[in-house]
Every structure is written in C-alpha cells, then in structure tokens.
C-alpha cells in the first residue's frame, strides 16, 4: 500500500486475470453512471465474482456514491458469502477512484484483512480493471421486457417526477442478470455459483471458523444453499 496526501493506493494483484478455479477468489468492482430522463443521473456500484460473473454486491444513489456506501455493501457481501475464514484470501480489485483510495475504504481493508487483499489498477492503466468495466457495460445493456435499467427509471421519472424506487429497480435488474444463462452455459450465474460454492465448501476443511461453531462442512454447505434458494 502507498499513501499520498491522505489517499491510499494498493498494489495490482490481479494481473489482468479474468478466470478463477473457484468462487470467492477474485471480485472486481466498478462504479458506473446511468443517464436518465431530462439529464438526471444515478450512480451504480457493482461488484462481481469473476468465477461466474455473479453480482455479489450492488448499490445505487442519485448522488455520488460514497466510500461508506461501498464499504457497507461489501461488508454485507463478505458476511453472506464467507461462513468460515478463507484459507486463501479473496482479492477485491478496483480502479483508482477516490472512493477506493479513501481513508474510509482503507479502514474497511484493515477491518477485513483476514478475509481479503485489496488490489487496484495501476495509474493510467484502465485495462487493469477491464473485467469490471466490461461487466458494467453488460449490466447497462441488459434488458427486461426490452427495456434497460436506464430506460425503465427514465420512464418512471417521466410519469412521476418524485420517483424514488431506485433500489427496487436495481435489485430487479441484478436478479435478472444473475439468473440469465450466458452463451456458454445453460445455467445462469446464480445457479452456477450455488453449485460451485457447494462443491468448494465440501472439499475444504472448516479449520478457520469465524467463531466457535460445531457445524460440519456439509452442514455449512446445506445452510448456504438454503440461504440462496429462490435466487
């Protein structure tokens, strides 16, 4: 980690990796802007697990997304997806936006250092976060009933200027994309992720519990699968 004028930058650990052998090895994150009705905007944070491209964390805001919003969203994702401490730490890769180089994000890195290693695109090297950037384009192009999320929110704003259900709309598009099979797989990211997570948990010994627990690996696997039922 390098600190410059209260900004925190991290070594690039991803090395343009775009595939992993199992889930929860690499997550990549990015922020994108939705262009809405009458020059209005909304900002979306997305974080995906590159093993299946499942969206593991997301949030939306009419104002600039803060580091605090991002860290709270990532905290929930980590708590949900890790029932035991990982033997090999997760990598979370981001670009060099101010939210990710902030003190608040650095505090989050320190709090969860037993779970993940921060990774950051090198200066003037946008290809270091290319997987996340490609996925944000996919997200913005994804359609439900022939409408993108920008079109749906814009339509709602045209009818109701005080429309405020941004979060519900985001959740709908996240669920849809997580359940959409891609061109190479019959199952969507959600089902692929469930299968991969179950397989991984049964293969690993839970020798680093988050807290005192009597669960076996199989118990944890079943608990995890129940948590994910219904998409």
CATH 3.40.50.300 for domain 2-228: no
Write down the domain spans for the chain.
2-228
Predicted local distance difference test score (pLDDT) of residue 61: 98
80: which residues sit within 8 A by CB, 6+ positions away? 227
Predicted local distance difference test score (pLDDT) of residue 201: 67
DSSP state letter for 161? T
Q: What is the pLDDT along the chain (231 residues), one digit of tens a residue?
A: 766 568 999 999 998 788 899 999 999 999 999 999 999 999 999 999 999 999 999 999 999 999 999 999 999 999 999 988 999 999 999 999 999 999 999 999 999 999 999 999 999 998 899 999 999 999 999 999 999 999 999 999 999 999 999 999 999 999 999 999 976 778 999 999 998 988 876 665 444 445 433 333 334 344 444 444 444
From the list 52, 178, 189, 70, the residue with the least C-alpha distance to 118 is 70
36: which residues sit within 8 A by CB, 6+ positions away? 42, 150, 153, 154, 157
From the list 115, 114, 90, 128, the residue with the least C-alpha distance to 9 is 128
Predicted local distance difference test score (pLDDT) of residue 221: 40
DSSP state letter for 144? B
Predicted local distance difference test score (pLDDT) of residue 123: 92
Q: Is 61 helix (H, G, I), strand (E, B) or coil?
A: strand
Predicted local distance difference test score (pLDDT) of residue 203: 62
Q: Residue 108, CB half-sphere, CA atoms under 13 Å: how many?
A: 21
From the list 68, 21, 73, 22, the residue with the least C-alpha distance to 46 is 73
CA 220 vs. chain centroid, Å, equals 22
- Please provide the distance, in angstroms rounded to a whole number, between the alpha carbons at the two ends of the chain: 37
């Amino acid at each position: 980690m390098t600190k410059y004028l209260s900004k925190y930058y991290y070594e690039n650990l991803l090395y343009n990796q775009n595939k992993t052998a199992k889930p929860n090895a690499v997550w990549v994150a990015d922020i994108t802007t939705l262009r809405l009705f009458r020059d209005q905007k909304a900002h979306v944070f997305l974080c995906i697990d590159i093993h299946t491209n499942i969206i593991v964390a997301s949030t939306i805001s009419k104002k600039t997304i803060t580091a605090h919003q991002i860290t709270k969203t990532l905290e929930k994702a980590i708590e949900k997806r890790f029932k035991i401490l990982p033997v090999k730490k997760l990598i979370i890769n981001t670009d060099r936006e101010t939210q990710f180089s902030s003190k608040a994000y650095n505090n989050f890195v320190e709090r969860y250092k037993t779970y993940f290693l921060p990774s950051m695109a090198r200066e003037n090297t946008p290809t270091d976060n290319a997987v996340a950037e490609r996925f944000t384009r996919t997200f913005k192009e994804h359609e439900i009933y022939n409408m993108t999320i920008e079109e749906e929110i814009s339509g709602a704003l045209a009818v109701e200027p005080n429309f405020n259900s941004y979060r519900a709309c985001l959740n709908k598009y996240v669920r849809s994309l997580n359940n959409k099979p891609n061109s190479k797989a019959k199952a969507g990211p959600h089902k692929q992720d469930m299968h991969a997570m179950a397989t991984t948990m049964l293969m690993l010994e839970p020798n680093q519990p988050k807290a005192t627990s009597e669960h076996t690996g199989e118990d944890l696997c079943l608990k995890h699968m129940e948590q994910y039922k219904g998409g």
